[in-house]
Structure 1
């Protein structure tokens, strides 16, 4: 009790008369929001099959490129081996076609004297006598055209063999892409936010496997009514509370360009400070200004001017005759500099007693200096 009595004079001496100030209104709308990772992706199955491996549980950390989920690839491996055999056959056919084309260039079949029996004599007679006579006299045979036809036939064989080889190589690339798709890898450093499958589950293309996020930096996401979005701009700082804890300042990082036609809200994202304690999915409140800067003026007083221990907020107002009057006030939002808005109960030209003792009542005045 003595400690309390000894403490009161110091408070009384610290009391002083201050004038009510007017500042720009900080009236705000409170919106619920959710803590989200800075980046978030959903890894889905690209190929059908049974899940062979799930590397971690929710909360497990992975580096970029680490395999998180693997789907059984035995069928694709078998198809790949079959395609490799087709490639070997196509390569052999291409080599044979190229050899036949080279042979036709160097030793044309149309001038081969060894293709007829009888030591080639009929063929030699045909080449020396019959064909020149047919070329010059009859006009119905052209040996050069025959050779051209044989060259085109060999070249066509080479082209077809190349096409068959290219087709087999394309099939191999397709299967290799499918084999890569059997592995779901971490696109960046982060943690598993949610796991949708277990080892042994059968999945189809497009089925979600896990949610993966980058949580070193975090954000808030809120659906802001379209009437309040015009008061926001990227880079703007606004107050927020996470699970009703201490107020922190968050930065507007992204404002979606379109609104939800059913709810008439716009999605807005806010960057959280790096040292903020929050986990994805936590509830948060964001305080958004209701009007543009300079729209309205309100009166503010130091929070220390409020009488302590009262059920309703009240202050001591100094009247013109230098006496005080106890008056109830209605408070608004708190300012960042230790002051609080007064919605009603005070005018801009009035004075109040700052730091009054808890026992003060109407008529009490600070001691004269």
Structure 2
């Protein structure tokens, strides 16, 4: 019995092993199914070439076409200042007067001496003609008269300097002297804004100024007058760049402006530095930063998201200029990028033309 029992147990053990092996083989034959990746819903645009203007904005201060300093030509006590800031003056109009009493007295003395010298010269000349005096005496008398006349003329000239006139038409922008002040020779008395208009001088980067030329149009806005847009045009590009800032001064003339616009106001000029006939533009949010490339976009190719490295230019009104990397007709993902990975299937929920 004992032997029969052992044999019976062995048969059951062998049968169990065979059953387990068969089950294991059957499991090994069945392939393990991988989960199917669900497409990500995205929105796209179809890139189309378009005309684009690259613009820059530069800030400066409005100035008159010319600033003219009215100065004293000689020292004198100021007795009258006939204008104030904001007054318009004409060329030749007297604007400041200096005390002339001392010069008037000197002129009276010199005129008397000149008259006496002239009379003496004429008498001597008549005597010389009759042979009563030598020609040298007549020449000496004439020289004395001419010297007296020159001194008289010099006093008259100095006297004219006491009436200081505006050298040009303009508007008084600064008054630096008052009645009772002692004006030194060549000291500034008034400042005039000359010319019929205003100019705006703005600093432009050396990288941009090479794209500008005299005659280029500009749009000027003034901070003090919101909504006012003034037409301008480049009238001068200075010949040298600042050695520190690497900027070049560009002067714009304003082509008509409202009465409220004044010298000294802060203004901004918008200038076109490049016109592109076939620019590729995409919404800014479509451009992503990468670890292996600086910038990229997701392009849809055969229903999958494909990484496309791009070279990005200016950002213009919420859109990015793509210099390199995209071609006309490319389909670029503009929404849903956060859920997309390279090569992932996508479902386009909305598509637009351009951006």
Contact 2:96 2:164 in 1 (8 A): yes
- Counterparts of 1:82 and 1:225, CA distance in 2: 65
Between Structure 1 and Structure 2, whose CA radius of gyration is higher? Answer: 2
Structure 1 segments unaligned to the other structure (5+ residues):
1-16, 110-149, 307-311, 323-328, 335-339, 353-361
**Which deviations, in whole Å up to 9, do the C-alpha atoms of 1:257-280 show, x marking residues without a partner?**
445556654433211021345200
Aligned residue number for residue 320 of structure 2? 342
Q: Aligned with 1:87: secondary structure?
A: helix
Greater share of helix: 1
Taking the aligned partners of 1:93 and 1:341, their CA distance within structure 2 comes to 94
The reply on whether 1:280 has 2:307 as its aligned counterpart is no
8 Å Cα contact 1:70-1:182 kept in structure 2: yes
Separation in structure 2 between the aligned mates of residue 33 and residue 229 of structure 1, nearest angstrom: 15
Distance 1:48 1:21, change over 3 A: same
Offset, 1:283: 0.8
1:54 equivalent in alignment to 2:81:
yes
The answer to whether structure 1 residue 100 and structure 2 residue 127 are counterparts is: yes
Matched, 1:66 2:93: yes
- Normalized against structure 2, the TM-score is what? 0.63
**In 2: Cα distance, 1:223 partner to 1:229 partner:** 9
- CA 1:299 to 1:249, structure 2 compared with 1: closer, same or farther past 3 Å? farther
Question: Alpha-carbon deviation of 1:75?
Answer: 1.8
TM-score, structure 1 normalization: 0.61
Q: How many aligned positions are there?
A: 270
Taking structure 1 as reference, are residues 365 and 230 closer, same or farther at Cα in structure 2, changes over 3 Å only? Answer: closer
Work out whether residues 41 and 211 of structure 1, in 8 Å CA contact, stay in contact via their aligned partners in 2.
Answer: yes
Q: Give the match for residue 30 of structure 2.
A: none
Matched, 1:174 2:154: yes
Residue 199 of structure 1 pairs with residue 179 of structure 2? yes
Counterpart residue number, 1:251? 233
| Matched residue, 1:129 | none
Tell me the distance in 1 between the aligned counterparts of 2:53 and 2:237. 24
Residue 251 of structure 2 corresponds to which residue in structure 1? 269
Aligned residues of 1:35 and 1:219 also touching (Cα < 8 A) = yes
Please name the residue that 1:190 is paired with.
Answer: 170
Asked whether the equivalents of residues 191 and 215 of structure 1 are also in contact (C-alpha less than 8 Å), the reply is no
Q: Secondary structure at the match of 2:180?
A: coil
Aligned residue among 39, 61, 72 for 1:34: 61
Structure showing the higher strand proportion among its residues: 2
The aligned counterpart of 2:280 is 299
Matched-pair contact (CA < 8 Å) for 1:44–1:210: yes
**What is aligned with 2:24?**
none
SS at the partner of 2:202?
A: strand
Match of 1:22 in 2: 50
Residue 230 of structure 1 is matched in structure 2 by: 210
Cα distance between partner residues in 1 of 2:89 and 2:46:
58
> What SS does structure 1 have at the residue aligned with 2:234?
strand
RMSD of aligned Cα (Å): 3.8
8 Å CA contact 2:90, 2:170 repeated in 1: yes
* Deviates further, 256-265 or 160-169: 256-265
Contact 1:20 1:349 in 2 (8 A): yes
Counterpart CA distance in 2 for 1:260 and 1:230 is 15
Q: 2:111 aligns with which of 59, 80, 84?
A: 84
Q: Do 2:241 and 2:249's aligned partners in 1 also have CA atoms closer than 8 Å?
A: yes
CA 1:265–1:166 in structure 2 vs 1: closer, same or farther (change >3 Å)?
Answer: farther
SS in 1 for 2:84: coil
Q: 1:279 to 1:93 in 2, by over 3 A?
A: same
Deviation at 1:89, TM superposition (A): 1.7
Q: Distance in 2 between matches of 1:83 and 1:348?
A: 92
Which stretch of structure 1 is more off in the superposition, 50-59 or 243-252? 243-252
After superposition, give the CA deviation of every residue in 1:111-137 in whole Å (9 maximum; x if it has no partner). xxxxxxxxxxxxxxxxxxxxxxxxxxx
Kept in 2, the 8 Å contact 1:23–1:300? The answer is no
What SS is found at the alignment partner of 2:194? strand
